[in-house]
Amino acid sequence: MPRSIFIQAPAKLNLALSVGALNSQGMHPISSWMVTTNLFDDLHLETLPAKSFSLFATIWHKDALRRSDIDWSISKDLVHRAHDRLEMFIGHELPVKSRLEKRIPVGGGLGGGSSDAAAMLRGLNELFSLGVSTDDLCAIAATLGSDVPFLIEGGSAIISGTGEQIESLDAPPEIHAVFFFPEVPCPTGAVYKQFDSLSNSPSNSPSNLASSPTKMRESKVRSLAMQSSVLATDPFNDLADAAKIIAPAMADDMEEIAQLAQLPIHVCGSGSSLFALCTDSMHASALAEASTTRLHIPAVAVQTIALPPMITNP
């Protein structure tokens, strides 16, 4: 009899993101405080008979607020690649039918694809009773993308290196926020290239966050992560200035939302999604509704969570 499992893949939020200069390996070291939120993609997995070809489908969930074409090739699909990497690790096939229903916007800086890949690794491990350790899952995850290892366990953590160094913290503090979804492309590669240009500009002053030494920023990340509560003004993101140059329409949306919310508006990762911290769930819900109806910028109220349990059906 086939077995099935349901996994929720949470969006991540960088409450603090410090980015270092390009290193000799062509990578940017980071220091970031990441938390998981209750905005989810839904992954449904079902076992197939031995020797069957695995089947993969990705669609938009009926609740998705910002949709784009799902037009990437199967070879570039992170869920498919996660399945392949785990098969390679254990040395045999894992025939499965996969249906991914997305709510997290593609390319929005919320780690949707990375979270989907982590969900596939966790789900297959449970569905086939593989017994792969968390450390090994994280090692496999690191070959797929810098955010994927954190999303194996989620919760709250300080991330450093190029994403592979994870210092898990206690359960995240209760934080209520709103995610805003401008319809603006903000390619990660272009943002990092612009970040490098800003960092190397002779006009940069020592106070410019992008030009600050990484170690100075690491202490600020840690200090924020250790606070018992987080104020609306506390989050910071070294990529924000670069993202606003790459996507000026996003910068315009930030100003509009800030006027409506009377709050600081922050960039999620490399953009183009945005966020604001709110006082409670009612505040967040009201702001999300106002942005959607008055500014026509789709928005959703979220809060921090630990990783939800998987649901298995025999």
Catalytic residues: 12, 147
Q: Report the sign of the C-alpha dihedral through residues 183, 187, 192, 195, in that order.
A: negative
Is the Cβ–Cβ distance between 84 and 74 less than 8 Å? no
CA distances from 307 to 39, 224, 227, 304 (A): 11, 21, 21, 10
| Opening angle at CA 102, ends 267 and 66, nearest 5 | 50
Cα first-last separation, the chain: 8
Tokens 């966050």 appear where? 209
Distance, in Å, from the CA atom of 169 to the CA atom of 62, rounded to the nearest integer, reads 34
One-letter identity of residue 247: A
Among residues 108, 168, 112, 110, the alpha carbon closest in space to that of 138 is found at: 168
Distance, in Å, from the CA atom of 190 to the CA atom of 247, rounded to the nearest integer, reads 10
